[in-house]
Amino acid sequence: MVTDDLNLDLMTQLAASALVPVLTQAAEIGRDEIRRLIRVQDEPSLPGEPPASRGRYVNAWRASKARVYDNAVVAYIFNEARFSNDTSMVEGLEFGTERIRPRPHVRPGLDRARPLIDAHIRAAEAKLGVLG
């Protein structure tokens, strides 16, 4: 029985390792769709439109390499840009602040990315033999 448990653990680790590049690329797809919504220009955007950026904010979007944890494979999309008062630009632009009306771009970007990510994951599952 111990051998079976070890083999199952090994199989789980191998399957998780195979998902690392898949989820890393999925995070990159999400990051790229968010970036596509942000206009690079000097003029500010209107409330309700995706934000405008001179480049600093749009270029600060990152996608992490996926990592294997005990029970999950995880990749992150993030942006550490801050306003001068040290609050998150992502939250302030997406949801608004006392002085800025919302400029939604994260949720719409992820909504645009979802079909691309789903297709990418389905293709990887088929290649790995998960579906067949």
pLDDT in tens, 3-55: 333 344 666 777 778 889 999 999 999 999 999 999 999 999 999 999 999 88
CA–CA distances in Å: residue 15 to residues 22, 32, 82, 104, 115: 11, 26, 37, 36, 23
Radius of gyration of the chain (CA): 19
pLDDT per residue as tens digits for the range 58-94: 999 999 999 988 778 899 999 999 999 999 999 999 9
pLDDT of res. 50: 96
* pTM of the predicted structure, to 2 decimals: 0.84
Give the integer Cα–Cα distance in Å for 122 and 105: 26
Residues recorded for the chain: 132
Number of structural domains, the chain? 1
Query: Whole domain around residue 8: which residue ranges?
Result: 2-128
**Neighbour-count burial for 31-43, b at 16+ CB within 10 Å, e otherwise:** bbbbbebbeeeee
